[in-house]
Structure 1
Amino acid sequence: MKTIDSKTVVFVTGAFVTHKGWEPWKEYFESKGYTTYNPAWPHKEGTAKELRDKAPNDIPLARLTLTELIDHYANFIKQLPEKPIIIGHSLGGMITQILINKGLGVAGIAIHPVPPQPVIPYELSFLRAGYKVLGLFTSLDKTYTMSLSDWQYAFTNGMTLEEQKKSWEENVIPESKTVARGGLTSAAKVDFKKPHVPLLIVSGSTDNIIPASMNLRNFKAYKTPGSVTDYKEFKGKNHFVLSLPTWKEEADYILDWIDRN
């Protein structure tokens, strides 16, 4: 019996990047008959350049918390005419898992998600790629913007220098250190024993900031035999997976998974 009966999709954006990266996905899913939304984070409306021009003194963004961010998406979803399919990337993937844990969707797809608590992200490449956003010994009233060199390692490893520079210009925006620190607290907690709607976790074999091994541990943390929990690793995909030339491979797999459930 099919359990995913919604034709509404909400895309949840991760850290460091503009929500506009979902626009090709929106168009593609809409061509398949879905109604889609990709709401920006609070204080992140505008182009990547416009938001970078505010850095590092955008105090409202700097003071945004993970709890407020989760509530932002939860409140958006509650206003929709039907429960949606929730699809998130990176930190947005973790938020997707949390929203599903709260019973706010009919299905969840977490693409290269940051692991929720209590899964501990101990992989060295994750620590190297992501520790700066915690802003240790820096003001929490200042935002953090990922440098090109960190972007090359964390998101766009394996791509040409020209592609890396272009993607940085088009996507990278300032980030709240407070949100990042929230990922280490109970605000990021998921009850892995709680029954849930169908959930798919997608990973990439060449992702540095969220390695496939981390996503696999995240998947294996679920202890709900009566709930559909699936895992898929794509070979040769880095963390910029949403905008790689091959992004439709993931999109088509997700659409097929939705149809099968």
Structure 2
Amino acid sequence: MPKHVVFIHGLWIHATAWRPWQDLFEETGYTTTAPGWPGEPDSVEATRADPSGLDNQGISEICHHYADLIAPMDEKPIVVGHSFGGLIAQELLANDLVSAAVAIDPAPVKGVKVLPFAQLRSGFPVLGNPANKSRTVALTSSQFRYAFGNALSEEESDALHAAWAIPGPGRPLFEDATANFVRNSPAAVNTHTAVRGPLLLTSGTEDHTVPKSVTLAVAKLYASNAASITEYHEYEGKGHSLTLDSGWRDVADDVLGWLASQGLAPSAVGGSAATV
């Protein structure tokens, strides 16, 4: 039974934001790691000071980075990813590199055709300038509030921006935005025939960056894969900040409960978990 959990962050958030999740999962009996993206310095401050290591890091580079980190492990771990980390988690699972995956408000895979205005607006600080494809872009507190903190008070959103926001590479957003027009898109995931471990897709109903309709469209792509388990959980009133804002524990407890329901808990999971 896998006992190790790898956490993968998304665009604009530093890996160290997973620390409360790691503490909770380790209290439950898991071991955990939360490696940054390739080229990402070890702290928020260092990344803000020099984000150049993240320049031109795309979806393939990020996937291979995590695959290389997972390869030496004694057993296939569980992976929990948020936003672009959720897309990476699905790619790792489809390639049978991990035992199970949780994709929290995941960036869309190739084949998703819905494009809500809120998602377009959230990505515009990057997509609005083609030169951003090869460099990193930071969100202002106002842009962060729209993309991540729209379900929070302005004070809480700004505090999260000050604590965790980092410049992110533009390339993954451009690759995802053009996925349906590129034959061998790095955002392609085998949703139909991959024989794999269980997958949980989740969505916050107020998410602007990855609106609920997008995640439901991803879930629909998996519907024909009868050989593997795919489930969908929904969190009422939550936005894209749901893994790091004051309500993060509700989401984390739900994920722990789901892992237990799949026989993937190393010990009894405390607290209650529900499919929302």
TM-score, normalising length: structure 2: 0.88
- For 1:201 and 1:257, locate their aligned partners in 2 and report how far apart those are by CA, in whole Å: 11
Residue type at the aligned position of 2:66: Y
Deviation at 1:50, TM superposition (A): 2.5
CA distance in 1, matches of 2:44, 2:94: 31
**In 1, are the aligned partners of 2:151 and 2:238 still within 8 Å (CA)?**
no
1:221 correspondence with 2:221:
yes
- How many residue pairs get matched? 254
* AA at the equivalent of 1:83: K
Q: Deviations over 1:140-159 (max 9, x none)?
A: 44321111111000000132
The structure-2 alpha-carbon separation of the partners of 1:198 and 1:61, relative to structure 1 and needing over 3 Å to count, comes to same
User: In structure 2, the residue corresponding to 1:243 is in which secondary structure?
Assistant: coil
- 1:15 equivalent in structure 2: 11
Alignment counterpart, residue 53 of structure 1, candidates 49, 52, 71: 49
Equivalent position amino acid for 2:98 in 1: G
1:191-210 matches, within 5 Å, as: 191-194=190-193, 195-210=195-210
Unpaired runs of at least 5, structure 2: 180-184, 263-276
Q: Secondary structure at the match of 1:98?
A: helix
Give the letter aligned to residue 192 of structure 2.
K
In structure 1, the residue corresponding to 2:40 is in which secondary structure? coil
Taking structure 1 as reference, are residues 44 and 107 closer, same or farther at Cα in structure 2, changes over 3 Å only?
same
Q: Cα offset for 1:63? A: 2.0
Matched, 1:132 2:125: yes
The residue type paired with residue 257 of structure 2 is D
Runs of 4+ residues deviating >3 angstroms: 139-142
Report the Cα offset of residue 76 of structure 1. Answer: 0.6
Structure 1 residue aligned with 2:61:
68
2:158 matched residue in structure 1: 165
RMSD across aligned positions (CA): 1.5
Encode CA deviations 1:109-168: one digit per residue, 9 max, x unaligned.
000001111213411100011132235332544321111111000000132222122111
Is structure 2 residue 76 aligned with structure 1 residue 83?
yes
Contact 1:135–1:177 (8 Å) recurs in 2: no
Once residues 217 and 179 of structure 1 are traced to their aligned partners in structure 2, the CA distance between those partners, rounded to angstroms, is 20
State how far apart, in whole Å, the 2-side matches of 1:133 and 1:139 are: 6
Partners of 1:127 and 1:151 in 2: CA distance: 14
Q: The residue matched to 2:150 in structure 1 has which SS? A: coil
Which residue of the partner structure matches residue 232 of structure 1? 233
1:44 deviates by 1.3
- Name the counterpart of 2:187: 188
1:259 aligns with 2:260: yes
Matching residue's letter, 2:207: D
Q: After superposition, what is the alpha-carbon deviation per residue over 1:40-77, rounded to whole angstroms, capped at 9, x for unaligned? A: 1112123223222225xx2x321222211110011111
Greater Cα offset, 204-213 or 43-52: 43-52
- Worse-matched range after superposition: 13-22 or 175-184: 175-184
Residue matched to 2:182: none
Deviates more, 1:17-26 or 1:175-184: 175-184
Which amino acid in structure 2 is aligned with residue 210 of structure 1? V
Distance in 2 of aligned mates of 1:240 and 1:119: 22
SS at match of 2:11: coil
What's the secondary structure of 2:136's corresponding residue?
coil
Aligned to 1:41: 37
Deviates more, 1:92-101 or 1:244-253: 244-253
> Which stretch of structure 1 is more off in the superposition, 40-49 or 8-17?
40-49
1:146 correspondence with 2:145 = no
TM-score, normalised relative to structure 1: 0.92
